[in-house]
Structure 1
Amino acid sequence: MAKTDWKFNDMVTETDMNELGQEVNEQAAAIGDMPTVPTEAKDAAGAIGELHGELDEMKSDSRITVPIKTGAQTIQGGNVPALVFPKIEGRTLINMLGDLGNLEELSKVIFYQSTGVLDSINKTVGNYGVKATILNGFTLGVVAASASISYKANRYYILLADVKNSNCEEVFIQTASSATTKLITTADSSKFSTVATKFSPTTDIIGSAEVVLKGVAGQVAYVDALRVYEITATEYYELDTMNGGELGEKYPYLGKGIYGVGNPVITSIQNNLLPDFNDWRFNAGATAGAGISLLGPNSIILDATESPAGAEVVVQLDRVLLEPNTSYVLNNTSTSGYMRVRFDYKDGTANSRIVIPPNTSRTFITTINTIAMAVLLTNISGYTDENNMATYSYSKTSHTYTDVSLIKGAHSQSVKRQRQSSSTSIVELYSNGSGSHKDSVQYISGQLKKIKKLEKIVLDGSLPWNYHSNAAGYKIVAIQLIGLPAIKTVPQGYLTKYDGKPCINDLGGVAVWPSNDYWQIGNSTYDTLFISVASSDSGWGNSYTPTIDEIKAYFNGWRMYIHGGSPAVPYNGSGTKSWVRIIEWDNATPNNVPTIPSGGVYKNYQLLYQLLNSSVENIQTKGAVVLEQGDNTITLSTNNVPIFKASLTYAENLHAVISDLEREVAKNDLKVSNTKIMPDGFNVDALIETGKYSVYNAINAPRGNGICYYDVIKHYELSNYGSQVAYFYGSNQIWTRRKLNDMWTKWEEVTGKLSKTGNESVTGVKQFLNGLSVQAASVPPELASPGCIYADGANGMLYYHDLSGWKLVYHSGFSPYVAGGYTGNGAAVRDISLPFTPSSVLVMANNGATLSGTSGFGGLSNTSVPVNINSNLIVQNGTNKFTIFFNSSNGQQSNNSSYVYNFIAFR
């Protein structure tokens, strides 16, 4: 039987694993009698490995991979509880309007054939929306953000806005004078809805994003949250299948900057969809005199006897995610207390409500736009319209609630308490413009890791900026991207400026840029970023060249101008310099260049570029997700950008579960604390560097379906030769093989089953789990082949075997260098003998001089680079020697008669 008292790190809770262990016991009993499990294991890792070995004859690691999306969905678990291995891919969203789409200032909004005012009531983001009215004599009115957008040929775009149509015939969004495809229009006057269009131009154009009111003079619509995103072709062709609510959810309003999928959280819920009362909000309305008493995790008293007459007292669960078009049952088990529910919708539909009387079950079916519900325990005593809170009456009474439940599907009389597990990854995931390269989070050898393919950099004043060149109306500045991951050749990416709008990535070269707000990563090694900065942004006049500190001040959010004048007038070299914050034009700082960030609403330039080579990064994670048999409600949530593609892989049967457990616990095994964990399915033929490695289900492993550990020795004298020793996790089997002329020999099992002492010998070779060792008396014949090492411990000597035979590489009397001296004799050429062939020799005169003008008295000589001045040799390495020279006419000498010289020679 498997143990049930295992201990694990926070990837899986101890409770989860104990319960899973009990399930393993039950499954083992169901399978029937099994061979006795060895008793050598001293920890959970060993026990799991041994159990897996006993189950090997089943040989059925059946796993299921299912797609998941943002929000709630139901997944059927397998025959046993199983760990879930998620894969989540990145997305990048950049609002091409920057922060102008929030419509907070009328001066930054364009009205055409219409008029508009700010409205603090009818809004969806920020402090204001815009109320627009069609002018007399027109049937169309336009509201647009005051920004020109550079649309590129054969790219894909979506334009969206939040609109509440008061009384127009129709409201939609478009790009002026271009063939846009209407996706969603609105005539709804009850709420804000998402309007959208898609757009893919065949040529580069400068366009707009404008909301169009269609109707007659005097008709009104409310507008907010304009946004324009470049998207992938895959997304573009799926837009036609989405409604306004889904589009608004996939493409939410984002302000200025570059956004990726942030901190994804996956949660699995089984049984009751309502959590224990510990997770509810007590007296959520802060009603005076209310009394809330928690009797236990699933029992609570709501007491309104001391609250004011007519006041509601509630215990509230704020948000339960729901699936669309799905039947649910809410069960109120209280004998006297009411419950009520508020439904939330993703298309902006007004909330709806239902009331559940005492001791009643209520079945409801969600709509296609339902996303969540709030559940409240309440002192309601009656109502005339359950969807209208104004008709509710409340009583000064006390009620007890125990085991209230929400389940999907048919009503069940017996509902278990909620079980929940979750996994959080602290990470941000991006993609390139086409979606061909995406960051992702996935399991690699039992740990969630980030597969990084893009790099995001915040460009501020702390970086080593340089001035590059000048053009009418703008300057070009540059920075070397030193110390950052290598950039993909012909780099693609995004650069956003301080107002959030993307700059234009021009691959043609800085010499042909037509204006400001262009950028490029250039030079032959693609290591320098060039940006064109408008004089109207920086305050650097056409005839002025900024200093490096002034460039840094700009990237900290400061604009230069003439002190005492208008900040709108650039500085051209005369008068006192002064700086103001770029956006607000305040906090004036005369004379001294600002060295700190300006603060306020300024947001640093940001750069996102594609890496030449992807990398695997450790990330901070918490928890793990477990699927149980039957229905599992899976929810996925992220910060900023919703995911477009994600999946879960989980085991369907006992053998696969044990495989996953074995992979999980490997990282906790102290025996392999210094072992490098390689990706699952790695080809171990590529393990050629000296070190310790762990691979799950490796290609070319000596044994499949599990973890093998590898000790690798690389022959550094002969790089085509090396050796590997492998042992299988959970057993004592050991294999060896050699690399000869870049070809690996077949794996040979050298041990069979070993005891824990590891003292068995095979043909004189002593075996250990960590490699091979030999006795000093004689070298066994099977070791006498290229790439092997022989240690003579008794005499302190170490040999290696190359193609010509055994070579002594070290003995305890060896020293890595020889130091000495000699007195010059004036000979033109003279050899100084050494006990070895040196790699480097340093010679200097006794007074320490090595060079004097064009004269030389020594120097550092390497194997292939002698000391040579004006074509005259001074010091040169040789076999078991070095050579010194005397040139009387030119003063270059290391053998001057009667001069005393010192030297040090290195092996």
Structure 2
Amino acid sequence: MAFNKELPEWKAAGIEPPLTKRNEGWKPGEKPPADWLNWTQNRTYEALKELQEKAAEITSIQSLSVKSDVRVGTTENITLSGTQTINGVAVIAEDRILVKNQSTGSQNGIYVVKAGAWARAADTDTSAKLANGIEVFVREGTVGRQTLWRMTNTGTVILGSTALTFQQTEASLVSPAFMGVPTAPTATVASNNTQIATTAYVDSVVSTSPTATPLNLGYGHQIVTVPRNTPYNLLNITGRTLINLLGRNGGCEDTSGFTTFQATMAKVAPLTNGVGAIEVTSTTASFASVSSTATYAFKQGKYYVSIAAIKGTSGIMGGIDFPGVATYEVPMNGQIQLIGRRINHTISDTNVTFAVFARATAVGLKIAGDDVRLYEITQAEYNALPPATFSLDSSNKWIADKYAYVDDMKTIRNPYLIKSGENLLPPIAEVNQTSLGALVPIAVNAPYSVSLTTTATNQFLANGRVNLLPNTQYTLSLESPLGAGFKGFINQTKVDGTASAGGQLILELSTSKTATFVTSSDISYALVFYGNSTGTGTFTVTNPMLNLGTTALPFKPNADDYLFFPNVQLASNMDNTIYDTLYKRDGKYWKLSRFKTMDLDGSLPWSNPNNATGYKRVAANIGTSVIASSQKVTKYDGKVLGAIGAIDGAVLNADGNLYLDVAMTDSGWGDSYNPTNVEVQAYFYGWKMSSTNTSSPAPYMGSGNKYWYSIGSVPLDSQWYTSANVTPITQILKPYKLQYQLANPTVEEIAVEGDITLHEGLNQVDVGNGMIVRERLNPQSDGASPPNYTFANMQVTGNVPAALLKYRNNGILAIYKNGLLDKEWHIDTAVPQGKNRAWIEATNYDQSAAYTVTYIAEQYSLTSNVQSIQGEYPSNLKTVVDTLATNQADVVTRVGVLENTQAQKAQSQWIEPTLLNGWVNFDRTQWEAVSYRLTDTNVLEFKGGLGSGSNTAIFVLPPKYRPTKERTIIVSSHNGISDMMGRIDIYSNGEVKYIAGGYTFASLESIRIPL
């Protein structure tokens, strides 16, 4: 109650007295009527009651939480008396002040300024007035101007005893515009929400340059997330050399070099790479195997890992056996499996074979093996591997990536990055629709809009092949639903081209324009298409968008970024402690070379300094800047050479002399015969010597006729032999290969193509190797009617290969016509050289144009895998702009240097070859020495005169200078009596051969061959 005394009730209404009586009042002796008295008492009661209620309301208002404004709030402890300056405001008497920072918290509250001691404001001067808490608005002040503050105490508040606490509850507000110095909490770096961007936050974005954010990438497909569009700065890639101790035998490409036990063997389709696998079929209900005839060394105290691809009859056990060293096996399930085992070789040095085996329970059971590999590893690598036999799947993919199969010795070659655009789908109008069977004519409305009128069920429209990550969410969206009966389809496919365990995903797009799906665990890529499982009619696919995540993003055309490093080779020592490095500096890419890898072919200056029983020691000087004994040498069959002093040994001395011990069984040189230097060169060109030219070759012992046949062949009659000097003949097998460490590392600038920008959000990035960039093409007619032009085609009319690439391909990416992308080509998988072939209609083929192709080579025959890419991206907007500005300056500099260099570029240097077979330079006083060079326009030029020869090879061109097809040149010659026309043929193997004409003299002047 507002009153202390209780109000007495008087509810009798009575009768109101007349106005005259109310004006005159009662006179002495008059007796007023009772009703008049009741009226007076009732009116008095009603008035007092209203007054009491109003007083109660005032009391209630005074206890409400919202109090009258204060002029200013304190920011520090003050003296609660007199006028003073508070928070930048000179307060005067009767100003209301919010005191909230006293050292003694019980002094806090709302005060009224006085000349002497301040008094608490009337609306907050009792505990009761604070019981419900208070809120107060602060109008002025340097800090906290135009803010609302709340007392935050809980529980019972006793004024003068309880420490009062206040907290700002709302941001500073000035209407219609912010005034003074408004503040707000600073958002965290890289925030992209609706929080206010304070000066501090903006400064962090545009005024400071924080350290770049590291972003390292591993091999294969991966997802990376960035907060904004930003350039990716590749810092470095380190080299790696991987040596398969099984050589090329582990590839199981054919049955030569293998024997069987209680089994038969056959070459079958490859399980993973290459052109074949070896299949074992049991002939008893017991152990069945196929074993290598060659043996392989396990060294005491060394660590190894072996992995293989196998596929066998369900229910039996099968695997790989290194007899007496290690065995690993798993149950067969009728599917291709990758299995492996780590090996700690604690016993003495051992040489053993390897076998693909099955524990057959009946006759006729099968197991196939492919891509068997054996790598020496470090103890740390050994410790990181599973302790028992392991199977490889998406959960331990890193093992398969790190120890991928390679033939013999491989370094990292031609690494690349590809960042997929936000839209993973290519333009639907550019997709080849011919492989979809029951196809009816389509109407192309725009690059991303195509209509199909179906005449029966199960007619489809393809949207291309896309690489997808396993166990990942994607969203497919269209501009509008397809309509009743039409759906989207995702054909999930494994790396070997078979259907994944997840099979086909069917997306309901008939009434919805978006669908989200999760990929299977074994997916490699998917085919996306649309069609009708029921009904017929016309449907239109417009602006299809496939993006990462569960939210459909606004449509964007596909825009992939890439960064290719063609013609780059990055090596290391075996434990990967010393390596080549690719890195970026001043906007350019450089390679720090610590190793050199080279072919050991017949062009080297070979000699025969020593003989031993069963083998010959041959030597060649490879130059200076070598570290002694740093050599790693593989033979023509991929076998790794061991220590010198035995068959298949090697050593590199500090003077650059390389010594190899070559077995008589490989060379055909008998123990009693010392081959000439030219004959040693012939061996390294791929030729084996024999004393006979029959189906039974025999070593040449020093007398009789000399014959040669190609290494690896089995001669049947004399037509397999040649008796001419064979040094320049085409090598049949792959050459010996040498890697060694340089005594003096070198640095060189390398060529690159492209650059990477990451888009805001989720990015799908592919890291790989083996990228062949813009290889020159020579497409051939397929002989059909009407003809098409094709390349990378293993079978055209006449069942012959056509226009093969330098390497088997693992995917053709782009074909260029005169340097520009040509989208008229069709890329498919029919009889390809590797994964793809390409063809184009004759009407779209320009025989005068220069065609090139960019493709990924099959990895195992060219490269080991990139292990990691070290990189970073700018951490805020300022560093993004700074990076772009720096890159722009670097680009301008590079373009300027390129323009000046091109303008001032001197012609390539002339090279004088070693003349063969008695040919000599003719009269040097009158003629230049025989020489050749390759111009900057890729034209091979010759000069000089030669003589004293015959119808033999003159010299051999190195690989870089060889034409892709045989060329015939007409030259001027002399036979000692008269001038005559002569003929010289230049072969794709580099051989320059004199075919006809005078032998006394021949001129090579003015010969020019575009390559």
| Matching residue's letter, 1:591 | S
- 1:167 maps to 314
- 2:149 maps to none
The structural deviation recorded for 1:355 is 2.3
CA distance in 1, matches of 2:762, 2:206: 30
- 1:593 maps to 725
Q: Verify the 8 A CA contact 2:306 2:341 in the aligned structure 1.
A: yes
The structural deviation recorded for 1:478 is 0.4
CA distance in 1, matches of 2:228, 2:738: 48
Q: Verify the 8 A CA contact 1:261 1:428 in the aligned structure 2.
A: yes
The answer to whether structure 1 residue 230 and structure 2 residue 376 are counterparts is yes
- 1:196 maps to 340
CA distance in 1, matches of 2:610, 2:336: 48
CA distance in 2, matches of 1:349, 1:338: 23
Paired residue secondary structure (1:186) = strand
CA distance in 1, matches of 2:675, 2:285: 52
CA distance in 2, matches of 1:553, 1:413: 64
- 2:701 maps to 572
Deviations 1:542-561 (A, max 9, x none): 00000111001000000000
- 2:449 maps to 299
Paired residue secondary structure (1:285) = helix
- 1:719 maps to none
Equivalent of 2:473 in 327, 333, 338:
327
The structural deviation recorded for 1:411 is 2.9
**1:90/1:342 CA distance change after superposition, 3 Å:** farther
The structural deviation recorded for 1:443 is 1.4
Equivalent of 2:672 in 543, 548, 558:
543
Equivalent of 1:251 in 403, 416, 430:
403
The structural deviation recorded for 1:500 is 1.2
The structural deviation recorded for 1:270 is 4.6
Larger RCO, structures 1/2 (Cα 8 Å, 6+ apart): 1
The structural deviation recorded for 1:161 is 2.0
CA distance in 1, matches of 2:245, 2:729: 24
| Matching residue's letter, 2:366 | V
Q: Verify the 8 A CA contact 1:576 1:590 in the aligned structure 2.
A: no
Q: Verify the 8 A CA contact 1:287 1:311 in the aligned structure 2.
A: no
The structural deviation recorded for 1:104 is 4.2
What TM-score do you get using the length of structure 1 for normalisation?
Answer: 0.60
Deviations 1:270-319 (A, max 9, x none): 533324336x52214175874344433322234555xxx67855424223
Map 1:379-394 onto structure 2 (within 5 A): 379-382=531-534
Map 1:341-360 onto structure 2 (within 5 A): 341-345=490-494, 350-351=499-500, 352-359=503-510, 360=512
- 1:281 maps to 431
Q: Verify the 8 A CA contact 1:450 1:619 in the aligned structure 2.
A: yes
Q: Verify the 8 A CA contact 1:89 1:438 in the aligned structure 2.
A: yes
Paired residue secondary structure (1:240) = coil
The answer to whether structure 1 residue 444 and structure 2 residue 613 are counterparts is no
- 1:101 maps to 250
Q: Verify the 8 A CA contact 2:620 2:657 in the aligned structure 1.
A: yes
- 1:391 maps to none
Equivalent of 1:630 in 757, 761, 786:
761
CA distance in 1, matches of 2:343, 2:451: 57
- 1:136 maps to 284
Deviations 1:843-895 (A, max 9, x none): xxxxxxxxxxxxxxxxxxxxxxxxxxxxxxxxxxxxxxxxxxxxxxxxxxxxx
- 2:818 maps to none
Map 1:700-711 onto structure 2 (within 5 A): none
The answer to whether structure 1 residue 110 and structure 2 residue 110 are counterparts is no
CA distance in 1, matches of 2:712, 2:737: 17
**1:462/1:398 CA distance change after superposition, 3 Å:** farther
Task: Could you tell me which runs of 5 or more consecutive residues in structure 2 were left unpaired when the two chains were aligned.
Answer: 1-189, 191-195, 771-858, 899-1011
The structural deviation recorded for 1:237 is 3.4
The structural deviation recorded for 1:468 is 1.5
- 1:657 maps to 880
CA distance in 2, matches of 1:629, 1:582: 57
Paired residue secondary structure (2:414) = strand
CA distance in 2, matches of 1:445, 1:594: 50
- 2:353 maps to 208
Map 1:611-760 onto structure 2 (within 5 A): 611-639=742-770, 640=859, 641-669=864-892
**1:494/1:563 CA distance change after superposition, 3 Å:** same
CA distance in 2, matches of 1:67, 1:83: 10
CA distance in 2, matches of 1:231, 1:282: 46
Q: Verify the 8 A CA contact 1:273 1:418 in the aligned structure 2.
A: yes
**1:253/1:81 CA distance change after superposition, 3 Å:** closer
CA distance in 2, matches of 1:455, 1:628: 38
**1:243/1:339 CA distance change after superposition, 3 Å:** same
The answer to whether structure 1 residue 68 and structure 2 residue 217 are counterparts is yes
| Matching residue's letter, 1:132 | V
What TM-score do you get using the length of structure 2 for normalisation?
Answer: 0.54
Deviations 1:817-846 (A, max 9, x none): xxxxxxxxxxxxxxxxxxxxxxxxxxxxxx
CA distance in 2, matches of 1:604, 1:224: 23
| Matching residue's letter, 2:234 | F
The answer to whether structure 1 residue 83 and structure 2 residue 232 are counterparts is yes
CA distance in 1, matches of 2:437, 2:521: 35
Q: Verify the 8 A CA contact 1:168 1:213 in the aligned structure 2.
A: no
CA distance in 1, matches of 2:224, 2:444: 33
CA distance in 2, matches of 1:468, 1:404: 70
- 2:489 maps to 340
Q: Verify the 8 A CA contact 1:151 1:204 in the aligned structure 2.
A: yes
Structure 1 or 2: more strand by fraction: 1
**1:118/1:312 CA distance change after superposition, 3 Å:** farther
**1:621/1:611 CA distance change after superposition, 3 Å:** same
Q: Work out the percentage of aligned pairs sharing the same amino acid.
A: 27
Paired residue secondary structure (2:573) = coil
Number of residue equivalences: 593
The structural deviation recorded for 1:464 is 0.8
- 2:30 maps to none
Equivalent of 1:472 in 590, 613, 621:
613
Q: Rg: which structure is higher? A: 2
Map 1:760-771 onto structure 2 (within 5 A): none
The structural deviation recorded for 1:475 is 0.2
The structural deviation recorded for 1:503 is 0.9
| Matching residue's letter, 1:487 | V
C-alpha RMSD of the superposition: 3.4
**1:552/1:244 CA distance change after superposition, 3 Å:** same
Q: Verify the 8 A CA contact 1:538 1:560 in the aligned structure 2.
A: yes
The answer to whether structure 1 residue 556 and structure 2 residue 685 are counterparts is yes
Is the deviation greater in 429-438 or in 239-248?
A: 239-248
Q: Verify the 8 A CA contact 1:432 1:438 in the aligned structure 2.
A: yes
Equivalent of 1:376 in 497, 513, 529:
529
CA distance in 2, matches of 1:169, 1:330: 43
The structural deviation recorded for 1:642 is 2.3
- 1:583 maps to 712
Q: Verify the 8 A CA contact 1:88 1:646 in the aligned structure 2.
A: yes
Deviations 1:337-385 (A, max 9, x none): 43322223359974321222434444332344333222224x4434xxx
Q: Verify the 8 A CA contact 1:78 1:653 in the aligned structure 2.
A: no
Paired residue secondary structure (2:870) = strand
Q: Verify the 8 A CA contact 2:284 2:360 in the aligned structure 1.
A: no
| Matching residue's letter, 2:720 | A
CA distance in 1, matches of 2:677, 2:294: 30
Task: Could you tell me which runs of 5 or more consecutive residues in structure 1 were left unpaired when the two chains were aligned.
Answer: 1-22, 24-28, 34-53, 383-394, 676-907
- 1:407 maps to 547
Q: Verify the 8 A CA contact 2:311 2:369 in the aligned structure 1.
A: yes
**1:253/1:362 CA distance change after superposition, 3 Å:** same
The structural deviation recorded for 1:409 is 2.4
Paired residue secondary structure (2:250) = helix
CA distance in 2, matches of 1:455, 1:547: 28
Deviations 1:87-108 (A, max 9, x none): 3222223332233233344342
